[in-house]
Amino acid sequence: MRRLAAGRNHKLLDFRDTTVMRRLLLIKVACFAGLLWLPAKAQDPAGSQPAQSAPDPGEITAVPNRPTFSTSAESVEPGVFEIEYGFELGDGHQNVNGLLKFGLTRNLELRFLNNPIERDAGVAGRGDSGAGFKYRFFRQSRVRPTFSLLYTAFLPTATAGVGVGAVGHSAGFLASKDFGRHHFDVNETVQWLGRPGGGGYDRNYFTALAYSHPLRGSWGMTAEIAGFSRANRQTPASMTLMGAATYGFSSRCILDTGIYVAAYGPLPRVTFFTGITYSVGDLYHRPSRRGPPRD
């Protein structure tokens, strides 16, 4: 997720929260029903897509989490250090957001999130941070998606009035699946939001369904529907619709730009964003990355 927490201290009518909760439930049902239906559809030769060529084992391939709020279940390769940075521009909300990732092992990815610059409702400063990991249990097969566990600890590093102001946690299950050239990501996450100045946590849920598909040449597209349930009276439910274009300068450098629209909740009606994902290099210096031997 690009955002470290869901919402600020805004108020909406409670009946709207109930409506959003019902729609989020429908999203959850659609997400998991799709994962069950699409593998069977993918086995139908009439609906199959042309197979993609195998990547060059000597090339580093980026695994972007951007531009969606959801997170891919796939992990960066072992030894690869990858960075993601971008900015958002909306009415009353602007930020610079970043994510650092490192493939510690084949299935374990370490992660650090930070918003170095954030401005909300006229208050600007440094944003919160987060640290955690993603562990991949299964790689995708013909009928099974990739499944991973994502954990993040939220750290109150923000300037007063900008961040949440308390330690929080989140844990969720991620599923990703390719059907030919069609890629889907499904997230189901629970967040424990710390209460500033008091003990205990408020809890909410994050649900997302993202779809991406390559277009002509190095261009691609991504779309997503995502939402948070109500956490408390000051943090109502929210839902966003996102559309973006991506451009791959190479297998390790990908640019994205687009908008997300707030369907519900205390968010700007329209927010523009752009960012980049770049695989810096293989810190393990595996022989397959060194190229052919020289005379």
175 belongs to a structural domain: yes
What does the chain come to in residues?
Answer: 295
What is the pLDDT tens value at each position of the chain, 295 positions in all?
Answer: 655 544 443 333 344 455 555 555 555 555 555 555 554 444 443 333 333 444 555 689 999 999 999 999 999 999 999 999 999 999 888 999 999 999 999 999 999 999 999 988 778 888 899 999 999 999 999 889 999 999 999 998 888 778 778 899 999 999 999 999 999 999 999 999 988 877 789 999 999 999 999 999 999 999 999 999 998 888 889 999 999 999 999 999 999 999 999 998 888 899 999 999 999 999 988 776 555 444 4
Q: Does residue 269 form part of some domain?
A: no
Residue 188 covered by a domain: yes
- For 40, other C-beta atoms within 10 Å of its C-beta total 10
- Contacts of residue 177, defined as CB under 8 A and 6 or more positions apart, other chains included, come to 35, 38, 39, 140, 145, 146, 183, 184
Please state, in angstroms and rounded to a whole number, the distance separating the CA atoms of residues 196 and 213: 42
pLDDT of amino acid 44: 41
Asked if residue 119 is part of any domain, the answer here is yes
Residue 253 in any domain: the answer is: no
For residues 136 and 175, give the distance between their C-alpha atoms in angstroms, rounded to a whole number.
10
Note whether residue 217 is domain-resident: no
Question: 199 lies in which domain range?
Answer: 1-41+65-211
Report the candidate in 177, 181, 176, 196 with the shortest Cα–Cα distance to residue 134. Answer: 176
Mean pLDDT of the chain: 83
Number of structural domains found in the chain: 1
85 in a domain, yes or no?
yes
Q: Model's pTM, two decimal places? A: 0.81
**Is the residue at 158 inside a domain?**
yes
